[in-house]
Amino acid sequence: MKILIGKYEGTIYPEDNGYTGAIDLGTNGKGDRNRLKRKGRTKEMVKDKLRKAVSELEAGIETSDTYTVENAVRDWLARGTKGLSDKTINDYKSLADSNLIPFIGAYKLKELTADNVDDWLEDRRDHLTTRTLQAIHSILRRAIRRAQARDKVIRNVAALVDTPDGRTDGRPSKARKPARSAGPTSWHGYRKPRSGARSPRPVSAARSTPSTSGARSAKTATPKPRNPAAP
């Protein structure tokens, strides 16, 4: 079956348990025939793969079929983390090794879809906090961005996905509660007695204010004149 994709001619033929499609790209610099091949279970699957391959070819994308998400992440960790502290880089490596590579690292980078990224994050949300989810999503996004800048993939599918909320720890708040006072106080500091407690007895004016009448009398009393007729 002959096909035409863009300006390239090709054929699709049965092979093994499916089909193989091949597009003639002319000859390389050595004069050898250059053919691009893709395999699939059906003819339509092969056609779709060939269309994508031609699109990447025309865009200058040169990713091999063996370049995976893990390769992209490890390239970024090795070459794209300049300027970061050793501790930060080690934290990124630990997160990638435990929560990214084991789950989506085997995907071929150019075949990774936004749905794949969505499914991965949804799977991890029950196990990780929101902050950790944001960190591993950021690692993937940066890794693909670096690969994109080097013509290994057309677009960054990780940038098309929102980070979901993660689990909550359910830990009680560490904020200290204010100490309980013996009773409510008024604005001027007077402490109201508790219910059932005896009210303080008012202090009488006589006890609280010392009398000064005697002092005044002593100071102001006029001495009696002496009787001149007295011996």
33-40/18-27 β-pairing: antiparallel
Same domain, 78 and 122: yes
More confident residue, 146 or 153: 146
How many Cα atoms are found within 13 Å in the side-chain-facing hemisphere of 215? 3
Count other C-beta atoms under 10 Å from residue 19's C-beta: 20
Domain that holds residue 43: 2-58
Q: Is residue 128 part of a domain?
A: yes
Question: Could you tell me if 9 and 40 are in contact, meaning their C-beta atoms sit under 8 angstroms apart?
Answer: no
Domain boundary among 39, 58, 77: 58
Q: What is the 3-state secondary structure (H, E, C) of the chain?
A: CEEEECCEEEEEEEECCEEEEEEEEEECCCCCEEEEEEEECCHHHHHHHHHHHHHHHHCCCCCCCCCEHHHHHHHHHHHCCCCCCHHHHHHHHHHHHHHCHHHHCCCEHHHCCHHHHHHHHHHHCCCCEHHHHHHHHHHHHHHHHHHHHCCCCCCCHHHHCCCCCCECCCCCCCCCCCCCCCCCECCCCCECCCCCCCCCCCCCHHHHCCCCHHHHHHHHCCCCCCCCCCC
Same domain, 36 and 105: no
Same domain, 74 and 30: no
Give the integer Cα–Cα distance in Å for 147 and 70.
Answer: 12
What CATH number corresponds to the domain at position 75? 1.10.150.130
Confidence check: pLDDT of 153 > 80 = yes
Q: Is residue 34 part of a domain?
A: yes
Question: What pLDDT is stored for residue 117 in this prediction?
Answer: 97
Kindly report, residue by residue over 48-91, the tens digit of the pLDDT: 888 887 777 666 566 667 899 999 999 999 999 999 999 999 99
Which amino acid, one-letter code, is at 207? R
Q: Is residue 109 part of a domain?
A: yes
Partner residues linked to 38 by β-bridges: 21
More confident residue, 16 or 120: 120
Residue 143's pLDDT band, with cuts at 50, 70 and 90, is very high
Average pLDDT, the chain: 77
Same domain, 89 and 143: yes
More confident residue, 47 or 120: 120
Same domain, 120 and 141: yes
Q: Is residue 140 part of a domain?
A: yes
**How far from 177 is each of 52, 171, 186, CA to CA, in Å?**
62, 16, 21
Question: What pLDDT is stored for residue 24 in this prediction?
Answer: 78
Same domain, 40 and 120: no
Residue 135's pLDDT band, with cuts at 50, 70 and 90, is very high
Q: Is residue 179 part of a domain?
A: no
Same domain, 155 and 81: yes
Give the integer Cα–Cα distance in Å for 77 and 139.
Answer: 9
Q: Provide the number of structural domains found in the chain.
A: 2
Kindly report, residue by residue over 171-227, the tens digit of the pLDDT: 433 433 434 444 444 334 445 555 555 555 555 444 444 544 444 444 445 555 555
Same domain, 22 and 80: no
Q: Is residue 146 part of a domain?
A: yes
Same domain, 93 and 148: yes
Q: Is residue 155 part of a domain?
A: yes
More confident residue, 14 or 186: 14
More confident residue, 163 or 65: 163
Domain boundary among 160, 179, 195: 160
Q: Is residue 202 part of a domain?
A: no
Domain boundary among 126, 160, 194: 160
Question: What pLDDT is stored for residue 23 in this prediction?
Answer: 81
More confident residue, 15 or 27: 15
Same domain, 73 and 53: no
Same domain, 53 and 91: no
Same domain, 54 and 90: no
